[in-house]
Amino acid sequence: MYHKSIRHEFAVQFEIPATYPHANPEIVLPELEGKTEKMYRGAKICLTAHFMPLWRANVVKFGICHALALGLGPWMASVLPGMIDEGKC
């Protein structure tokens, strides 16, 4: 991610549920665990309100790249700039 012309890199992990593809994969950013309220325990980003309904509607068509583009991308765009400005990451 780039914010104010500075590059910020984060390790990304996936947890694929046993019911995949009917349940979306969990996206984990271990470096940010405990630094924001918009993250579940285990450094999982919150995808429930916005991304899960979209995933359910397109279950046959969507894959991990969609989880990154439509789940992680908007989450990073809304949460990380504030964290970076506060010096949390």
Q: What is the maximum alpha-carbon separation in the chain?
A: 40
Contact 15, 25 (CB under 8 A): yes
* Partners of 7 in the β-ladder: 2
pLDDT tens digits, one per residue of 53-76: 999 999 889 988 999 999 888 888
How many domains is the chain partitioned into structurally? 1
Is residue 61 situated within a structural domain? Answer: yes
**Of 18-22, 38-42, 70-74, 75-79, the least confident:** 38-42
Is residue 85 situated within a structural domain? Answer: no
Of 46, 64, 68, 84, which one is the catalytic site residue? 46
Is residue 5 situated within a structural domain? Answer: no
Is residue 88 situated within a structural domain? Answer: no
Q: Whole-prediction pTM value? A: 0.78
Give the sheet arrangement for strand 13-15, strand by strand: 13-15, 26-28, 44-45, 39-40
Is residue 39 situated within a structural domain? Answer: yes
Is residue 4 situated within a structural domain? Answer: no
Please say if the pLDDT value at position 18 is more than 90: yes
Is residue 9 situated within a structural domain? Answer: no
Q: How far is CA 31 from CA 4, 60, 72, 89, in A?
A: 20, 32, 15, 8
Active site residue 89: no
Range of the domain at 58: 23-80
